[in-house]
Amino acid sequence: MLPWFDNNWRPLYLAPMAGVTDSVFRRLCKEQGADVCVTEFVSADGILHRNLRTREMLNFRAEERPVGVQLFGADPKHMADAAKAVIDWVAPDFIDLNFGCPVNKVVCKHGGAALLRDCPLLERVALAVVKAVEPLPVTAKIRLGWSQEMINATTTAMALEQAGISAVAVHGRTREQGYSGVADWQAIARVAETVSIPVVGNGDLRGVDEILLRLRSTRVRGLMIGRAAMTSPWLFRQARRFLDHGEMVPDPSIEERWSHILCHCRMAVAETGTEKHAMAAMRGRLMAYSKGMPGGRSLRAELQQVSSIAQVEAISRRHLAWFNSENVAEEGLVFEGPESFSNSISSAPGRVGEASHFASS
């Protein structure tokens, strides 16, 4: 039912991340080689109440396909009705059910990972949605369990399979862990060995080496990349090239990184229609992109204040000039380290927010 698993294909998913994986970011990741995308999670109640913001979060473009819409909620009928409404509105390739979000505001409404403590209800939710939208495939995302004392990913996956779920993504941490600690890939492997539906592994996939290790050492049928994509969306391209052709693709140059960052900014402004609002929302994304870049700490100090594309362009020019200077070239700075860039900022004639500086840059 999910053609991207045909012929032993190992798809690379872009993980759904609230406030991150909007349509613009999904398109950028697809260009970089992501095989499957999932929207930011949306509330079933928000859909049924026809909340405008929720409706906007469902929008996607043809080039994002295959794309799924992820729903959260705990009422089987509400979830089923919301799924049918989503299909009528945007016709996604699949519906995805969020049973893994650890955030308090979701859990306190008995959504997300809260259902890992109530597997009978979780199964009823899954079954209701599957029946409501068939033959459209329904997938689910779970965690290992609520806590270390309540690890139940295997039994949860079995229940989901019984309910008609077509594939399950497993994040290798408990709800109690949140995003701390280390993902338990042995536990993910046990789930993949137990159920017959495809299992997609998720957690701590930061580079091509880790991706290859997990595909070779477990029976997962695909991988889901989350936080690493925020910093390095080109990881999809690197992993896909190695999996398909056995070739290692080098990391992008600093110039290529800045080109990508500016492209993201311009696309975000075009999508939103208001530069100030779009750039305020982009600050978190800019913080993520700066990680691992030389002079990253000073870059973040500048980027967290931007409100226009012109300011980002000016920062990029100054950063590239500093990076390509003889002093930096000799030091061979390729990762965050000595903050010499901060000196170039402090000696510049202006700072972010001062029009005179950017007018003369």
Return the active site residues. 101
| 166: CB partners within 8 A, 6+ apart | 1, 2, 94, 137, 138, 139, 197, 198
CA-wise closest residue to 229 among 205, 260, 199: 205
| 259: CB partners within 8 A, 6+ apart | none
If one counts every other C-beta atom within 10 angstroms of the C-beta of residue 178, the result is 12
The answer to whether 102 and 145 have CB atoms below 8 angstroms apart is: no
CA dist 170 and 236 (Å) reads: 19
CA-wise closest residue to 317 among 275, 267, 254, 263: 254
CA dist 361 and 355 (Å) reads: 10
> What are the backbone dihedrals phi and psi of residue 141, each rounded to the nearest 5 degrees, phi first?
-125, 130
The answer to whether 26 and 60 have CB atoms below 8 angstroms apart is: yes
Pairing, β 222-225 against β 138-143: unpaired
Which amino acid, one-letter code, is at 82? A
CA dist 272 and 267 (Å) reads: 9
With left for phi above 0 and alpha for psi between -120 and 50, is residue 91 left, alpha or beta?
left
Determine which helix (DSSP H) or strand (DSSP E) holds 223, and give its type and residue range: strand 222-225
